[in-house]
Structure 1
Amino acid sequence: MAIIDLNSDVGESFGRWTLGDDAAMFESVSSANVACGFHAGDPSVIRSTCEKAAKAGVVIGAHVGYRDLAGFGRRFMDIDPTELADDVVYQIGALQALAATTGARVQYVKPHGGLYNAIVKHTAQARAVVDAVKSVDPNLPILGLPGSEVLRLAEEAGLRGVSEAFADRAYNPDGTLVSRSQPGAVLHDPAEVAQHVLRMATEQTVKTIDGSILNIRAESICVHGDSPGAVAMATAVKSALGDAGVTVGSFL
């Protein structure tokens, strides 16, 4: 039976501000990208999220990003690579410590938002992320877009690069994600999202924004936890995969 990892961005609440239903998402996904405090999350939210993930048997990963709470980490930042590497190390370390208090551990790294998109092509920032992860633990895989600089550099550095696709995002013909500023960039209908994922998981293809078909091979598929109707989409995706004989399970 085929197996595919479903991951979700979680732990993105902050203080009295709540975003997403992480506990409900953990019923459908196998990996949790936990915000590390730079784009979202605070120490109490991080610890609580790790505790819930561990109880649900969901693998924990560090969702590292730019230091940009106001912009939710979705804006590009022209940051010095050394500073970026230090920021990534800091975030992984914070999550490792808080996860340890719940008896869990960090098992992979996934960059977030603006940083994720930048290191598809921005070599200097991609190398900074890879160097940071390797310096903390060379056994930590890095999730990224297929064909991205970060995955290329990760492989060169002896790290495992894990190719990722997105359940609720539209694709450009070149395999990049359609900018959130463009109409149709984010998918909302659970049935449409489920078919989108089913095509990725069973046919290794995706229909792009212009209707063309793109080959895509992914070990993990992301369902964003902050999207409206995220839980319904995740539930529909897991159900559709199960009906097609595909099991949801960690890529580790």
Structure 2
Amino acid sequence: MKVDLNADMGEGFGPWKMGDDAGLLQIVTSANIACGAHAGDWDVMADTMRKAAAHGVGIGAHPGFADLQGFGRRPMAMSNESVGRLVAWQFGAARGVAATVGAEVRHLKLHGALANMASRDRDLARAAYGAALRVDAHVILLVLAGTEQEAAARELGADWAGEIFADRGYRDDATLIPRGTEGAMIDDPDAAAERMVRFVEAGAIIAASGHEIPAACDSICLHGDGPGAVAIAQAVRDALRGAGVALQPMAGRRA
């Protein structure tokens, strides 16, 4: 049994730092790097990509809404066509910056409110992913497992990997419990680690209600912006290894 550990990184901006990217790069196997819209800038992107490559960590583009103040977590009303261009613009920037440091972008993961909206709206997900695929037909789409994101990736015939979250609670439809709502966040490292072993071994998302949703548990997201991020990441890594799960950068699937 194999699984990828991914974390969102490169979310600083200019002199402002966010998260312990250096610590997470010792633990994860893939990094989702902000592309300058919801967070990050060209210098932060380049530095994070260079360090990820040096650690053998797979590099991914992490496009979101152009909302620095809201960190990309506020829904925005945009046409699907415009969303596609927004994603292509950020993906192209990530690919260009990666090339300057001798690295390449292997995967793409939508961020924040854009990701949440695409998990419920298949047409929006198709617009975002279709635009990315026109930039690179072989990029791996890291999708929220069991949602409309996965359905869109399948319809597009793309390489994709299913993602589950170590520190977020789930509703019965495989979408995340909204932040600020009871059960949305799992802050205890041991609890996060134990549930990830259960998810991976069951091949399913286990909702807060106890309902099990069969899912492709290819990659586990370890959020990098919380104070306990590194502790949770280390606990999840240790627990998976203890359960005999091999850790490696994600591979795409089409089935």
The 1:42–1:220 alpha-carbon spacing in structure 2 relative to 1, beyond 3 Å, is: same
SS at match of 1:164: strand
Q: Which structure 2 residues correspond to residues 72-221 of structure 1 after superposition, within 5 A? A: 72-221=71-220
Match of 1:12 in 2: 11
Gaps of 5+ in 1: none
TM-score (norm 1): 0.95
Q: Which structure 2 residues correspond to residues 25-44 of structure 1 after superposition, within 5 A? A: 25-44=24-43
CA distance in 2, matches of 1:81, 1:214: 28
Cα deviation for residue 149 of structure 1 reads 2.2
The answer to whether the 8 A contact 2:31-2:52 is kept is yes
Cα deviation for residue 163 of structure 1 reads 1.2
Q: Counterpart of 1:126 in structure 2: which amino acid?
A: A
CA distance in 2, matches of 1:136, 1:230: 32
TM-score (norm 2): 0.94
The answer to whether the 8 A contact 2:147-2:173 is kept is no
Q: Counterpart of 1:155 in structure 2: which amino acid?
A: R
Q: Deviations over 1:19-70 (max 9, x none)?
A: 1111110111100000000110011100000011001100000001111111
The answer to whether the 8 A contact 2:147-2:174 is kept is no
Match of 1:226 in 2: 225
Match of 2:44 in 1: 45
The answer to whether the 8 A contact 1:196-1:206 is kept is no
Cα deviation for residue 216 of structure 1 reads 3.1
Cα deviation for residue 161 of structure 1 reads 2.4
The answer to whether the 8 A contact 2:204-2:217 is kept is no
Gaps of 5+ in 2: none
The answer to whether the 8 A contact 2:146-2:214 is kept is no
CA distance in 2, matches of 1:155, 1:204: 18
The answer to whether the 8 A contact 2:5-2:220 is kept is yes
The answer to whether the 8 A contact 2:8-2:223 is kept is yes
Cα deviation for residue 204 of structure 1 reads 2.0
CA distance in 2, matches of 1:201, 1:83: 36
Q: Which moved more, 1:4-13 or 1:151-160?
A: 151-160
SS at match of 2:31: strand
Q: Counterpart of 1:37 in structure 2: which amino acid?
A: G
Cα deviation for residue 184 of structure 1 reads 2.4
Q: Counterpart of 1:57 in structure 2: which amino acid?
A: G
Cα deviation for residue 146 of structure 1 reads 2.1
The answer to whether the 8 A contact 1:188-1:228 is kept is no
Cα deviation for residue 16 of structure 1 reads 1.9
CA distance in 1, matches of 2:90, 2:145: 24
Q: Counterpart of 2:63 in structure 1: which amino acid?
A: V
CA distance in 2, matches of 1:203, 1:125: 30
SS at match of 2:51: helix
Q: Counterpart of 1:105 in structure 2: which amino acid?
A: E
Q: Counterpart of 1:226 in structure 2: which amino acid?
A: D
Indicate whether 1:245 and 2:244 are aligned: yes
Q: Deviations over 1:116-147 (max 9, x none)?
A: 11011223321211221111011011111223
CA distance in 1, matches of 2:50, 2:76: 32
The answer to whether the 8 A contact 2:146-2:213 is kept is no
